[in-house]
């Protein structure tokens, strides 16, 4: 591999090294941290790319029950792909070349371990050409790249944040204020949040699985104890929980991971006022931005984009090789 790069799985003794790397990486998020990976109670591996003794790139993946593939779907984990050290000190051509070669090295290592590979790359990972070039000219043996979008809301200047809201969003906020909606933190009120979350899905005709319910509780318990999770509620003047949100954060930003609303009172503007109030609280806490975590469905996309965030693409990269490799085994 060019530039003396080599990749390998990390050992448990290197988990502290990995967490520090995730914190410093422009692509690193809580979703690649050891805390998050262990929280699922499922098999995972972390692959590191080294230049000499220095960790310069890597990626964490969950394995399926066969341990021959990475999991195609990891619930509530929007990003889990390749990450790099901070290479902003490099000239742009050198940075692009270096990160391209890191990606090549990690692709080769992943293919040594797995038949099928799924990587949900962070929006700061933009160069997917190595996935195309690695299999260039080999029909039927290729990576598929799927484009998705999220929205990033800048919280540095909260007055400017509000100025970017569209008219419909501002109208909903004013409506909630006229309806005397009160916003409260309720970090010890998971049961109330869970009840509202269940009602939200029931309204859509969707039944949450036991696995999903238990996982949401596990996420709350693990992150709340580390002060990385906050619950917010929008209450009517009668004290009814009209809307709720679970916000998580790492050292870089916050994430709007879960939202819920009462089917009986959902048209009172409470959810819009709730998010606007959350933005203010996060700003006071020193967080510079919030990722609204996906604007890919029509209704959810329209609602979230009303808060004036930047539309940002991110890429799912997948390779399905089961039939090809089974013929070789």
So what's the pLDDT on residue 137?
Answer: 80
Per-residue pLDDT tens over the stretch 238-257? 999 999 999 999 999 999 99
Per-residue pLDDT tens over the stretch 25-37? 999 999 999 999 9
So what's the pLDDT on residue 321?
Answer: 66
Per-residue pLDDT tens over the stretch 286-298? 999 999 999 999 9
Residue 180 DSSP symbol: T
Give whole-number Cα distances, 199 to 234, 260, 273, in Å.
15, 8, 20
So what's the pLDDT on residue 2?
Answer: 53
Per-residue pLDDT tens over the stretch 17-68? 999 999 999 999 999 999 999 999 999 999 999 999 999 999 999 999 999 9
Per-residue pLDDT tens over the stretch 134-165? 998 877 788 999 999 999 999 999 999 999 99
- Tell me the C-alpha distance between 117 and 63, whole Å: 10
pLDDT for residue 324 is more than 90: no
So what's the pLDDT on residue 79?
Answer: 98
So what's the pLDDT on residue 282?
Answer: 98
- Average pLDDT on 180-207 reads 93
Closest CA to 70 of 78, 61, 79: 61
CATH for 2-148+314-328 is: 3.40.630
How would you class 195 by CB atoms within 10 Å of its CB: exposed for 0-12, middle for 13-18, buried for 19 or more? middle
- Average pLDDT on 89-104 reads 98
Residues of the chain with CATH 3.40.630.30: 156-287
Report CA 100 to chain centroid distance, whole Å: 23
How confident is residue 322, by pLDDT bands cut at 50, 70 and 90? very low
Tokens of 318: 């997948």
CATH for 156-287 is: 3.40.630.30
The H or E element spanning position 247 is strand 241-249
Rounded mean pLDDT of the chain? 95
Residue 11 DSSP symbol: P
pLDDT for residue 309 is more than 90: yes
**Angle at which helices 167-178 and 270-284 cross, to 10°:** 100
So what's the pLDDT on residue 1?
Answer: 45
pLDDT for residue 227 is more than 50: yes
């Amino acid at each position: 591999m060019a530039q003396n790069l080599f990749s390998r799985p990390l050992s448990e003794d290197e988990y502290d090294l990995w967490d520090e790397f995730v914190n410093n990486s422009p692509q690193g998020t809580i979703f690649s941290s050891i805390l998050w990976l262990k929280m699922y109670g499922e098999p995972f591996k972390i692959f590191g790319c080294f230049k000499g003794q220095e960790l310069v790139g890597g990626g964490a993946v969950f394995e399926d029950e066969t341990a021959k593939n990475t999991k195609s779907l990891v619930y509530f984990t929007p990003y889990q792909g390749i990450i790099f050290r901070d290479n902003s000190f490099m000239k742009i051509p050198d940075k692009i070349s270096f990160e391209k070669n890191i990606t090549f090295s990690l692709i080769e290592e992943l293919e040594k371990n797995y038949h099928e590979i799924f990587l949900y790359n962070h929006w700061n990972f933009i160069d997917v050409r190595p996935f195309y070039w690695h299999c260039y000219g080999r029909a039927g043996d290729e990576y598929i790249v799927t484009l998705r979008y999220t929205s990033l809301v800048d919280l540095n200047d909260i007055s400017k944040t509000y100025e970017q809201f569209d008219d419909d969003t501002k109208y909903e906020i004013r409506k909630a204020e006229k309806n005397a909606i009160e916003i409260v933190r309720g970090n010890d009120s998971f049961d109330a949040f869970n009840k509202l979350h269940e009602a939200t899905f029931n309204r859509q005709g969707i039944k949450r699985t036991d696995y999903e319910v238990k996982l949401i509780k596990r996420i709350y318990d693990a992150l709340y104890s580390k002060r990385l999770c906050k619950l917010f509620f929008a209450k009517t003047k009668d004290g009814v929980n009209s809307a709720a949100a679970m916000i998580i954060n790492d050292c870089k930003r916050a994430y709007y991971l879960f939202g819920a609303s009462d089917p009986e009172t959902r048209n009172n503007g409470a959810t819009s006022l709730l998010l606007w109030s959350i933005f203010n609280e996060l700003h006071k806490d020193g967080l510079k931005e919030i990722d609204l975590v996906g604007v890919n469905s029509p209704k959810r996309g329209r609602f979230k984009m009303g808060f004036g965030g930047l539309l940002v693409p991110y890429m799912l990269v997948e390779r399905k090789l089961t039939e090809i490799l089974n013929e070789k085994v």
